[in-house]
Amino acid sequence: GQLAVIAAKLNCAPDVHAIKEALALALPSVQGQMENLAVDMGYTPGVLALFYKVAIGSGVAPLVIFMGVGAMTDFGPLLANPRTLLLGAAAQFGIFATVLGALTLNYFGLISFTLPQAAAIGIIGGADGPTAIYLSGKLAPELLGAIAVAAYSYMALVPLIQPPIMRALTSEKERKIRMVQLRTVSKREKILFPVVLLLLVALLLPDAAPLLGMFCFGNLMRESGVVERLSDTVQNGLINIVTIFLGLSVGAKLVADKFLQPQTLGILLLGV
């Protein structure tokens, strides 16, 4: 019935633009009909579709990776010298600059980005792959593949980009300074820090609580010292396995008709 209606619209279309509009309306309907037909014939989703549904569709993979990163992180230097927190805060400027860049491209009509898409692209400025995947999966699933490729590509380029910048901004004498910890951080401080951090995030930024909660949980496992076997598993085996499934899931979204678009070029340029 729906196919007959679509055919009638195409026959009555007065010009090319009307035909394009009719086709745009037709494609989702035809896709839905084909999916229903495949289910009726006994076809089931492939393994890559299941990877995506479990790893990214549910948001599990980025959360588990954050738990592993938390288990690998030592907050001792930060607690000894809290002023270094400002260095990490500088990443927020990159996020907002990328969001504004995406909205600017949309304003001038160069590349069309909605506000949720611009926000998902903006997280690339934080140079954090799991966060970029988690946020784009929530705000702009259609751009997930391009955003993930951009985020991880620029993270991989850090060892090539940083050295010349460091040599340009520092002298040889400054680079030879031996960094020492200002004071010894007690075990109690290291255990209380992730607990207090999680409480503050849950109260002030509840939307970020899942990511930071897993991060703090991983760090608490590390610092408590009572679950060393679990902490070692999270830091090594588990995070490696989840990363493999995450890569397969993202790769499944890199189909040519969605990836080879002007929006992808804009995302790659904004990521710089």
pLDDT in the model for residue 220: 94
* Same-domain status, 52 and 30: no
* Same-domain status, 253 and 143: yes
pLDDT digits (tens, 9 = 90+) for 25-76: 666 666 666 666 666 666 666 777 788 888 888 888 889 999 999 999 999 8
Residue with tokens 């910890």: 181
Confidence bin at 199 (pLDDT 50/70/90): very high
* Same-domain status, 166 and 87: yes
* Same-domain status, 100 and 27: no
Residues 6+ apart with CB under 8 A from 236: none
Percent of the residues in the chain that have a pLDDT greater than 70, as a whole number: 83
* Same-domain status, 174 and 204: yes
Coil, helix or strand at residue 108? coil
pLDDT at 6 over 60: no
* Same-domain status, 66 and 163: yes
* Structural domain for 19, as ranges: 2-40
* Same-domain status, 57 and 137: yes
Using alpha carbons, select from 203, 212, 43, 78 the residue that is nearest to residue 220. 212
H helix and E strand count, the chain = 18, 0
CA distances from 144 to 107, 129, 131, 240, 268 (A): 22, 11, 12, 21, 13
Residues 6+ apart with CB under 8 A from 17: none
pLDDT digits (tens, 9 = 90+) for 128-180: 788 888 888 888 888 888 888 888 887 888 888 888 988 898 888 888 888 77
